[in-house]
C-alpha cells in the first residue's frame, strides 16, 4: 500500500491518501489537546498506544458484528482504514456520572446509572461542540432518522461489548465518545478511535483514573496511566 499526500491533520492524528481511493492511512501523534485546543501538550508514546488499543478493540467489535473502518495495522503508529464521510456528531455513551454530565447537573462523579445514556454533540470546533438533540441533527441534515436509530443501536451494542471486556481487565468503563462514518454505499461504520483519549477508564478497585483526564486535570502520571491501561488490555487479549 503506497502512502500518498496528507489529506488532513487533526489534533491527535494525520490522514494520508493511498493508491486505493477507498482506503486511507491514519497516523497517530503524541500531541494532546483538551478544552477545544485551549490546553496543549505531548503525551510520550500515546500515539503508539492509541493506535494499538483502538485496533484491538475495533477487531473485537467487528467479531461481535459491529462494522468498523479498521482494515489492517501497518506500523506502531499507522493503520489502514476504510475512507468514510464522517457524520459530524460526537456520540457519547455513559455508564457512570463524570465530566460534563457531573458539571451540567451538579452531581458528583461515580454515580452508577441503571441504564446507559446516549447523547449527541454537534462536531463543530467553532461552536465548541454543542450538545444536540437528535431531532436537531435530522433538521440540519447531518443524518437521517434511520441513521440516528442505527447509530444509537450500535453505540449501545459497543457499550455492552466494551464494558464487558474492560470489566475482565479490572477496569470500569465510565463513558466514551464515538464517531461514525458513511462508506461509499451509504452504510454506517464505526470510525475515529477508541482509546484513553476518548474513553474514561477507572481502575475498578481503586477508582484511579487511567485515561486522558490525568492530562486534562493536571493529575500527573499521564504517560504511566496510558502504559498501565495498555498493559491491562494486553493481558486479556
Out of 92, 162, 171, 188, the residue judged to bind ligand 5GP by CB under 6 A: 92
Which three cell numbers mark 204? 475498578
Closest approach of ligand 5GP to the CB of residue 113, in Å: 13
How many CB atoms lie under 10 A from the CB of residue 30? 17
Residue 43, class by beta-carbon neighbours within 10 Å (0-12 exposed, 13-18 middle, 19+ buried)?
Answer: buried
CA distance 121 to 221: 30
| 13 binding ligand 5GP? (CB under 6 A) | no
Query: Count residues contacting ligand 5GP (CB under 6 A)?
Result: 15
Applying the rule CB under 6 A, the residues between 109 and 148 that interact with ligand 5GP are 129
Out of 177, 180, 202, 210, the residue judged to bind ligand 5GP by CB under 6 A: 177
For 74: left if phi > 0, alpha if psi spans -120 to 50, otherwise beta; the answer is alpha
Radius of gyration (C-alpha) of the chain in whole angstroms: 17
Out of 198, 214, 222, 225, the residue judged to bind ligand 5GP by CB under 6 A: 198
Applying the rule CB under 6 A, the residues between 23 and 82 that interact with ligand 5GP are none
Binding residues for ligand 5GP, rule: CB under 6 A, are 90, 92, 98-101, 129, 175-177, 197-200, 212
Amino acid at each position: 500500500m503506497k502512502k500518498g499526500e496528507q489529506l488532513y491533520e487533526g489534533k491527535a492524528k494525520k490522514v494520508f491518501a493511498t493508491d486505493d481511493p477507498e482506503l486511507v492511512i491514519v497516523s497517530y501523534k503524541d500531541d494532546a489537546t483538551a478544552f477545544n485546543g485551549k490546553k496543549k501538550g505531548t503525551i510520550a508514546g500515546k500515539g503508539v498506544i492509541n493506535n494499538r488499543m483502538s485496533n484491538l478493540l475495533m477487531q473485537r467489535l467487528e467479531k461481535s458484528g459491529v462494522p468498523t473502518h479498521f482494515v489492517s495495522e501497518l506500523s506502531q503508529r499507522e493503520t489502514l482504514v476504510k475512507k468514510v464521510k464522517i457524520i459530524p456528531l460526537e456520540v457519547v455513551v455513559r455508564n457512570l456520572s463524570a465530566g460534563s454530565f457531573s458539571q451540567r447537573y451538579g452531581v458528583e462523579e461515580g454515580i452508577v446509572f441503571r441504564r446507559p445514556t446516549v447523547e449527541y454533540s454537534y462536531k463543530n470546533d467553532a461552536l465548541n461542540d454543542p450538545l444536540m438533540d437528535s431531532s436537531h441533527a435530522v433538521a440540519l441534515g447531518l443524518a437521517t432518522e434511520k441513521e440516528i436509530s442505527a447509530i444509537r443501536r450500535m453505540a449501545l451494542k459497543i457499550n455492552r461489548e466494551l464494558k464487558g471486556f474492560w470489566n475482565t481487565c479490572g477496569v470500569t468503563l465510565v463513558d466514551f465518545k464515538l464517531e461514525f462514518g458513511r462508506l461509499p454505499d451509504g452504510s454506517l461504520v464505526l470510525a475515529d478511535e477508541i482509546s484513553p483519549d476518548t474513553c474514561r477508564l477507572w481502575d475498578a478497585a481503586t477508582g484511579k483514573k487511567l485515561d486522558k483526564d490525568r492530562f486534562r486535570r493536571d493529575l500527573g502520571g499521564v504517560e504511566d496511566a496510558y502504559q498501565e491501561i495498555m498493559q491491562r488490555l494486553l493481558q486479556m487479549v
